[in-house]
Amino acid sequence: MPKDEEWVEVLVTYDALEAEMIKDLLESGGMPVVLRSSKVSPYPVNIGKMGEIKILVKNEDKETAERVISGEGEESSGFPE
């Protein structure tokens, strides 16, 4: 990652599948996405900070990414965020 670009966290999840789905959704809209995890490969621990998966986007994409994740502009699912 180039140092001149600021990456910001838009979501933290403990579900790897959810993280991948959100990453795919944002990338399909043309946003670069980085997933960060503290998991150690041979030990799939999902407890506390070790289970966190952070979804990061470039600072200039943060507002758009948050709107996409929250489903704004689309039909609401009826579930509270």
- Smallest CA-to-CA distance from 57 within 18, 23, 21, 80 is with 23
Residue 5 burial (CB < 10 Å; 0-12/13-18/19+)? Answer: exposed
pTM over 0.85, yes/no: no
Domains identified in the chain and CATH numbers: 7-70 (3.30.70.1530)
pLDDT tens-digit map of 57-77: 999 999 999 999 998 755 444
pLDDT at 66: 96
